[in-house]
């Protein structure tokens, strides 16, 4: 569901800047990954769902090649550039580079379109691991796709966003975030094969809430160790002689353990075991097998903590605290790139209030941070708001 107060403010902001009501409004959601962490750039499997927190873009087409953009959430910072294949990065506005990168990479594909006046806003928590950047990339791509009837699919919008983030922004993210933001569906998770891009909708049980807990330990993918982890995975695949870690079984990895440096082995062990857990979790979710789901999510978190070394103590505290409440009735784990950010929990609706109370009673005293809790629904992917 779209937040109506945000939508109203967006329209008013657009009119204030450009002197008229916007012609159209588009959105793209953030996402939470239920299981399958750091498997996407290893050609593996992920199980995310789009959430009901979005990037919104109010827009009116132009007859020239100029893009004028306003970032409402950054004190109405502005950017202006011309559409071409030689768009350069902005020197000091990161949000501008996501917009510029998406537009440039659409042009590099040979697509022809005009400029636009746009105001951008949203409520996807930034720096929390819920893919505010992918949401922005997909929202911009979907805006131009539908505004100018470009001959590309939603999957193409996702791939273009990933390409822009990899090559223009400089973060080697996988395809998961953009794909679920573009192609998610209400009441479903999306099992995604990151090599073939084949997707399968996985119905979410009606009796489970999706709870996201932002630890408020800030993180940043570009300048974190994300790229280092990716390089270690690629090193493991090269030593093992496979195209990607997707192509080796856990048994084969164990048999080849002596070939790998110890830290590289542990990185690979996380990815290979996480792929297996993700496929099993999709089945468990479909079958409402909560005991199996709980076990798989717990093992996923332990693997991220011990093998991939991307959790932090406040995140571990949240997982330990809420796992005592949820037990075998759902599941809980860190979600996102790591080094802070969010925890995702699947739990019965009637457990939510107690879980929030328990966390609020102890988290700040134990960690010094204040947690934010979001109760979400699996939501539709990118599109126009009518």
Hey, where are the domains in the chain? Answer: 4-201+380-385, 204-376
Q: Do residues 34 and 48 lie in contact, with contact meaning Cβ atoms separated by under 8 Å?
A: yes
Scanning 256-340, the segments in alpha helix (DSSP H) are 262-286, 290-306, 313-326
Q: Could you tell me which CATH number the domain at 204-376 has?
A: 3.30.70.890
| One fold for 4-201+380-385 and 204-376 | no
Q: Do residues 132 and 165 lie in contact, with contact meaning Cβ atoms separated by under 8 Å?
A: no
* CA angle at 105 for the pair 50 and 63, rounded to the nearest 5°: 100
What distance in Å separates the CA atoms of residue 140 and residue 105, rounded to the nearest whole number? 12
Phi first, then psi, for residue 301 (nearest 5°) are -65, -45
Structure tokens at 316: 């571990």
What distance in Å separates the CA atoms of residue 43 and residue 191, rounded to the nearest whole number? 13
pLDDT at residue 310 in the model: 92
pLDDT at residue 61 in the model: 98
HSE, CB side, 13 Å, CA atoms: give it for residue 3: 16
What distance in Å separates the CA atoms of residue 141 and residue 145, rounded to the nearest whole number? 6
**β pairing state of 116-122 and 66-71:** parallel
Whole-number Cα distances in Å, 250 to 83, 162, 245, 266: 48, 29, 10, 12
pLDDT at residue 172 in the model: 77
Collect all residues with Cβ–Cβ distance below 8 Å to 69 and sequence separation of at least 6.
78, 79, 80, 96, 99, 118, 119, 120
Strands (E), the chain: 24-35, 45-61, 66-71, 77-82, 116-122, 188-193, 199-203, 208-214, 331-335, 342-348, 372-376, 383-385
Phi first, then psi, for residue 300 (nearest 5°) are -60, -45
pLDDT at residue 56 in the model: 97
Global pTM? Answer: 0.88
pLDDT at residue 3 in the model: 86
Whole-number Cα distances in Å, 326 to 233, 320, 351, 358: 33, 10, 7, 12
pLDDT at residue 386 in the model: 87
Angle between helices 226-240 and 262-286 (to 10 degrees): 100
Residue 61, exposed/middle/buried by CB under 10 A (0-12, 13-18, 19+)?
middle
Q: Which residues are catalytic?
A: 177
What distance in Å separates the CA atoms of residue 178 and residue 136, rounded to the nearest whole number? 9
Give average pLDDT by consecutive 10-residue segment, the chain, 386 residues. Answer: 91 97 97 95 96 96 98 97 96 95 98 98 79 93 98 97 95 87 96 95 95 86 72 97 98 97 98 98 97 98 97 96 97 91 95 95 95 93 95
- The CATH label, of 3.30.230.10, 3.30.360.10, 3.40.50.1400, 3.40.50.10490, for the domain at 4-201+380-385 is 3.30.230.10
What distance in Å separates the CA atoms of residue 114 and residue 147, rounded to the nearest whole number? 9
Q: Do residues 11 and 143 lie in contact, with contact meaning Cβ atoms separated by under 8 Å?
A: no
**β pairing state of 45-61 and 199-203:** unpaired
């Amino acid at each position: 569901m779209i937040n109506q107060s945000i939508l109203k403010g967006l329209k008013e902001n657009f009119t204030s800047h450009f002197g008229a009501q916007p012609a159209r409004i588009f959105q793209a959601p953030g996402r939470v990954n239920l299981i399958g962490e750091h498997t996407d750039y290893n050609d593996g499997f992920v199980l995310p769902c789009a959430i009901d927190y979005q990037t919104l873009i109010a827009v009116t087409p132009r007859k020239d090649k100029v893009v004028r953009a306003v970032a409402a959430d950054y004190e109405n910072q502005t950017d202006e550039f011309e559409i071409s294949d030689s768009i350069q990065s902005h020197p000091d506005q990161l949000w501008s580079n996501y917009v510029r990168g998406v537009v440039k990479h659409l042009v590099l594909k040979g697509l022809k379109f005009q400029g636009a006046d746009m105001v951008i806003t949203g409520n996807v928590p930034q720096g929390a691991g819920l893919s505010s950047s992918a949401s922005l990339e997909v929202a911009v791509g979907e805006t131009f796709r539908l505004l100018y009837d470009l001959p590309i699919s939603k999957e193409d919008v996702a791939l273009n966003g990933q390409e822009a983030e990899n090559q223009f922004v400089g973060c080697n993210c996988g395809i998961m975030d953009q794909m679920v933001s573009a192609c998610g569906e209400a009441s479903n998770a999306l099992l995604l094969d990151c090599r073939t891009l084949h997707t399968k909708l996985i119905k979410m049980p009606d009796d489970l809430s999706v709870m996201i807990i932002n630890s408020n330990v800030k993180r940043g993918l570009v300048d974190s160790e994300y790229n280092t982890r990716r390089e270690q995975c690629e090193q493991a695949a090269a030593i093992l002689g496979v195209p990607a870690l997707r192509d080796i079984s856990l048994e084969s990895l164990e048999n080849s353990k002596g070939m790998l440096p110890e830290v590289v082995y542990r990185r690979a062990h996380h990815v290979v075991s996480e792929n297996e857990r993700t496929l099993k979790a999709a089945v468990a979710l479909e079958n409402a097998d909560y005991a199996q789901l709980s076990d798989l999510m717990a093992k996923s978190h332990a693997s991220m903590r011990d093998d991939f070394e991307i959790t932090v103590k406040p995140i571990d505290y949240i997982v330990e605290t809420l796992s005592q409440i949820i037990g075998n009735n759902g599941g809980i784990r860190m979600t996102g790139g790591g080094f802070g950010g969010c925890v995702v929990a699947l739990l019965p609706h009637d457990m939510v209030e107690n879980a929030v109370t328990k966390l609020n009673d102890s988290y700040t005293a134990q960690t010094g941070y204040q947690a934010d809790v979001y109760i979400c629904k699996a939501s539709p992917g990118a599109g126009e708001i009518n």
